[in-house]
Amino acid sequence: MYTLPKLEYSYDSLEPFIDAATMEIHYTKHHQAYIDKLNAALESHPKLQDLPIEDLLRKLNTLPKEIQTQVKNHGGGHANHSFWWLNLKKNTKFDGEISKEIKKKFGSYDKFKEEFIKTALSVFGSGWGWLILNKDNNLEIIKTPNQDSPLMEGNVPLLGVDMWEHSFYLKHGPNKTAYMEDFFKVINWENVNKNFEKAK
């Protein structure tokens, strides 16, 4: 059975950029719902419930046809949200190998930020913006619809932003640009760097 990963900080840790109420609802209601629905979908496939969620998504296309959509939506939701919580921390430094690679690829931190925000804001409806290490070992900024995970296409997510309204509407209303500015203040660069080192 999949379970909610422990949140290693309090709901108000990211104030004033991401508010405590959003964090609590997002974690206890939205993330939990993805997990419950994923477990329900896998009830008749207990062996699959033992796989790390990332492995389950990587092999999505080889799973029994009748559960693929549920695993894609709810397994994707579980993986993306597990990733999201680790993604966030105040006052980390844009540093390490990843900062060098980002500057090499995008020119500067500001250019990277601009392109990442542009891509995230171009998500129509609900989805995610990502910095990934793609199959050719290059950094790339992409978006995915719904709860699709970069893992499903064989890419490795390094940084992601949740563009579903439940992630920002309480505090930012429809102002996604303000949400993106606040998101950039709570990127956990230590974790992005760790993801990059592991992906290489």
Residue 106 CA, distance from chain mean position: 21
Comparison of 164 and 179: residue with beta carbon closer to Fe ion: 164
- Nearest residue to Fe ion on Cβ basis: 162
Stretch that binds Fe ion, among 52-60, 68-76, 101-109, 165-173 (CB under 5 A): 165-173
Comparison of 63 and 77: residue with beta carbon closer to Fe ion: 77
Integer Cα distance of 74 and 191 in angstroms: 24
Comparison of 112 and 179: residue with beta carbon closer to Fe ion: 179
Q: HSE (CB half, 13 Å, CA atoms) of 22?
A: 20
Residues 22, 23, 29, CA angle at the centre, nearest 5°? Answer: 85
Which among 104, 56, 102, 103 has a CA at the least distance from the CA of 82? 56
Among residues 164, 168, 179, 189, the one that binds Fe ion under rule CB under 5 A: 164
SS3 of residue 157 by DSSP: strand
Integer Cα distance of 143 and 120 in angstroms: 7
Integer Cα distance of 176 and 165 in angstroms: 9
Is there binding between residue 179 and Fe ion (CB under 5 A)?
no
Stretch that binds Fe ion, among 56-64, 109-117, 167-175, 185-193 (CB under 5 A): 167-175
Integer Cα distance of 77 and 91 in angstroms: 27
Smallest gap from residue 33 Cβ to Fe ion (A):
10
Among residues 11, 141, 162, 176, the one that binds Fe ion under rule CB under 5 A: 162
Stretch that binds Fe ion, among 3-11, 105-113, 150-158, 162-170 (CB under 5 A): 162-170
Comparison of 149 and 167: residue with beta carbon closer to Fe ion: 167
Q: Given the structure tokens 């680790």, which residue do they identify? A: 86
Smallest gap from residue 11 Cβ to Fe ion (A):
15
Contact set with Fe ion (CB under 5 A): 162, 164, 167
